[in-house]
Amino acid sequence: MISPTVHGRLSPADVDAVRALVAEVSAADGVGPLSDHVMLHLPQGGDEAVRNLLVRGEGGLLGYAHLDVTDAVAGSSAELAVLPAARGSGIGRALVARLLEESPDGRLRLWAHGEASGSGELAKSMGFARSRVLWQMRRSLGDALPPVVLPDGVTIRTFEVGADEQPWTEINNRAFADHPDQGRWGVEEVELREAEPWFDPAGFFLAFRGERLVGFHWTKVHGALTHDHGDAAHEHGHDHPPLGEVYVVGVDPAEQGHGLGPALTLLGLHHLQRLGLDEVMLYVDESNTNAIRVYERLGFSRYATDVCWSLG
């Protein structure tokens, strides 16, 4: 009988085992099984309030699940990974069953990164329904980009570490007030990302009208270049060529409708193109048709899909 064990913060040895499992799953599936948020918090053993489920076997760690029980409105959410060689043995089903037991009110959202048929079939067989879809969109940076035209009165500068965390958090939370993931950030979420090797304030653009912060575009580069607060770039091993990302674009609600969002998006694309990158990606909710139309006009097209499956 498969019996996942439940843990709070993970030990360093368990963190290493989860990272190795994630690397094997990513290599086999072509997409990582865990979100950026989970991977950012993993080196510290995970957030204090989450629950980590492990399935061990003779060969080591065979399965892992991350359970966040902190959202009283939408309910608990989880992500899981099963070693490719151990699939088909009931580990995924055992993890989901234990996740349901650990969810405080019986509600659970399962995120599947990529539309692998196995994850969808498992979710449906256990009574889950498809409830939210995220698109990954991509475009080439090999072609000329349109010029950046900012609204009148708007100026741009890059992010200053140690000074801009709080004002950026405030505008981010206003811009994404209705967003289930992005609208409740604190300064600590920014500081976690500042400590990551990919963080580069030179690719983090802030838009001002006078002294008021009215928008931003935070870019990211996956792959070969890492940065020490923008001072130096170094080689960093990765399994694909460097890939740019429109990490977060936001506009103050009072400033929307004047073209600032598309202008900021283009500003970041020009920056990523100047770095010599061949391609750029972004994530957007399938239901956000206005944003999708903007991105399509900027040359993006759908590349992959993440699906949320809900119960309760």
> What pLDDT, in 10s, does the model give residues 268-309?
999 999 999 999 999 999 999 999 999 999 999 999 899 999
Indicate the fold that domain 138-305 takes in CATH. Answer: Aminopeptidase (3.40.630)
What pLDDT is attached to residue 240?
54
What pLDDT is attached to residue 188?
92
The interaxial angle of helices 91-102 and 117-125, nearest 10 deg, is: 50
What pLDDT is attached to residue 228?
47
Identity of the highest mean pLDDT range in 7-21, 34-48, 66-80? 7-21
User: Is the overall model pTM greater than 0.85, yes or no?
Assistant: no
CATH superfamily of 5-127: Gcn5-related N-acetyltransferase (GNAT) (3.40.630.30)
* More confident site: 312 or 123: 123
Q: Residue 238: helix, strand or coil by DSSP? A: coil
User: In whole angstroms, what is the distance from residue 35 CA to residue 92 CA?
Assistant: 18
Alpha helices in the chain (DSSP H): 12-29, 36-41, 91-102, 117-125, 165-175, 187-194, 260-274, 289-297
Average pLDDT over residues 17-26: 96
pLDDT per residue over 177-202, tens digit each?
887 667 788 999 999 999 989 999 99
Q: What is the domain partition of the chain in residue ranges?
A: 5-127, 138-305
What pLDDT is attached to residue 224?
53
Q: Around Cβ 41, how many Cβ atoms within 10 Å?
A: 19
Contact 135, 180 (CB under 8 A): no
205-220: burial string, b at 16+ Cβ within 10 Å, e else: bbbebeeebbbbbbbb
Q: Per-residue confidence at 67, pLDDT binned at 50, 70, 90?
A: very high
